[in-house]
Amino acid sequence: MLVGYARVSTDGQTLDAQLIADAWADTTTPHGELMITILAGLATFERHLIRARTDEGRKRAQARGVRFGRPMKLSAFQIKEALARREAGEPMADIGRSYGVSHSTISRL
């Protein structure tokens, strides 16, 4: 049973699709192309609404003091202590090992 077909132009820029079961989605006719264009416009509009609501929620959360991103591996006290040990000349690998983090974490402090 043939459900439909799709044809790509020789320049690779356009696509014609014809679904036999759904004549309204036949992009080879002006009516079908209009329907697909309207649906694509509605989908884009809905995506913009979702993004606006997400941004609004994110701003409200930040105003409440919510922190985003990955939690810190070290507490403020541990960071201060690790910096003092690094200034004293202790190898970063040893400092990281004592806190259970990599030497890269210590080097970024």
Is the pTM here over 0.75, yes or no?
A: no
Task: Decide if pLDDT at 99 tops 50.
Answer: yes
Two tokens, residue 44: 């884009």
Q: What is the pLDDT of residue 42?
A: 95
Overall domain count for the chain: 2
d(CA 7, CA 71): 50
In which domain, by residue range, is 85 found? 76-107
Task: Decide if pLDDT at 25 tops 80.
Answer: no
Same domain, yes or no: 19 and 56: yes
Same domain, yes or no: 23 and 55: yes
